[in-house]
A and B are shown apart, each in its own frame.
Chain A
Amino acid sequence: MNEIPLEAGLLLATILFAIGLLGVMTRRNIVFVLMSLEIMLNSAGLAFVLAGARWGSADGQIMFLMILTLAASEVAVGLGLIIQMYKKFKTVDIDVLSALKG
């Protein structure tokens, strides 16, 4: 069987993670921030699956399932919050939304 090497998979996961992280750091639109977060979560999930496949353990897939549900609920709650925020502040720019400033 022609396996994809582990290193390649991990590299992909790392690249995905970096893309997500950059998105979180640079994007001002909160919807994009949320999307970038999803990418980061998925990269972590990919790493889990890869590691599980490498050592033949089911744990990686279990973790992935958990991350999946976590991401799903995060999106659900997060989008709900974003809609509320938009209704209240008429913006989705996180630089404007800085009420927690000390």
Chain B
Amino acid sequence: MSILWILLILFVGGVVAWISEAINKQLPRWLALSSVILAMLPLVSLMDGGDDISSAWLSSLNTAWIPSLGIQFSLAVDGLSLLLIGLTGFLGIISIASAWEEINSRVGFFYFNLLWTLAGVVGVFTAVDLFLFFFFWEVMLIPMYFIIAIWGHENRKYAATKFFLFTQATGMLLLMSLLGLAYFNWKATGVLSFAYEDLLAVDLAGDVERWLMLGFFVAFATKLPSVPFHSWLPDAHSQAPTAGSVLLAGVLLKTGAYGLIRFTLPLFPNASSEFTPVALTLAVISILYCAKLALAQTDLKRLIAYTSVSHMGFVLLGIYAWNLIGLQGAVMTMLAHGLSAAALFSLAGGLQGRLHTRDLRKMGGFWLASPKMAVTAMFFSIAALGMPGLGNFVGEFLSLLGVFSVSVSAAAIAALGMILAAVYSLWVMQAVFQGESTATSGLQDLNRREMLAYGAMMFGLLVMGFFPNLFLVFSDSAISGLLSLDQLVAVAKGRW
């Protein structure tokens, strides 16, 4: 039941926040903040049971929704989704904090969209009926579109439409594939069902499986994003308001990775297995190509967006390692990148709020005027470049370790991304904070609220870096459960 509560609180909280604007302009902020915090409370009770988690779901809920079509309203949580919901809640709070002063028009509607996006994401992480999953997949998209299109920067219409079209077009592929999957299940068993557990058991012919897998893969790879479906992201990020960037980078990208882990691999084991070389190649290209693109950017947010794609390449790499280490690495990278990218985007947003530009060429020497901000930026930059002791390193190292046993060349080439990460991270640091101080007299240092938010994220990354087991424990059973599914075991045996 507690999952339903999370969703309900977020959905209802959004509506209430919207309405409350009529009463007081400050009210929506507080209402949004309190409903996210409130929504996270049931999570704590779920985490308590985290010690004796078996491979089964921690908690689930199942009611009929459209029975004539075999569609159920069924939600379930395992360790993996628990971690990601936790991340969603945490970054939800961060994004509300980062929007606190930035968003001043139509405040109520903004927080409505924000909360509904969060609700959609939580739904995606918990739905175990494929149709319901698709429903939430769309729910998180539309409010995000509004966030970019209404509160974005100078080129917001273009960016929002691009974002919408990319996700919508590939979402249609997802819909067709899942309808196809349900159809073949119906043909085989005579029962029309969209339930995850039922569809796991479908036995598909080779070609059919390949095409359906491709539909799922493209949809998730666009969200992830991976080359060549990445080009919506830099535009969306550079135009979105800070809170939007935080949510996009921190949470929405992770739904793509989650989809790959939860659906693409187990539903289409044979086809995915055949697809591995392609996926690994895409991952390696994403890592290197986007790192190289990041080097050429002069728009700070665009640059961070490209580095995001580069880092998500490690997630893709880890997922297609087909072993526990690689998948756990992917999960860790998702969590750590969620925090570090969110922090970097909010720093970029903070700079934009103060300077009214994102152009790197107009920045420089801010260290003197705002040392706290500089140290914070330094922290997250070195987190992004994979410094051991911070979460990103754990994730990337485990991903590489997992892949190394599968494909030495993929791991070795991907590791070159770590060099490029150092190049661009430190270059940005110098371009923005070091050097001769320029027109920085008016640059305000971080205020209390910002310090609190960044402090929390730093703490999170440190804990992930030094005590990754605290997190890995949760996803361990989920991932090993996944890998021990009969179909996957059979495939894995066939491979090596």
Direct contact of A and B (CB under 8 A): no
Binding site for B on A (CB under 8 A): none
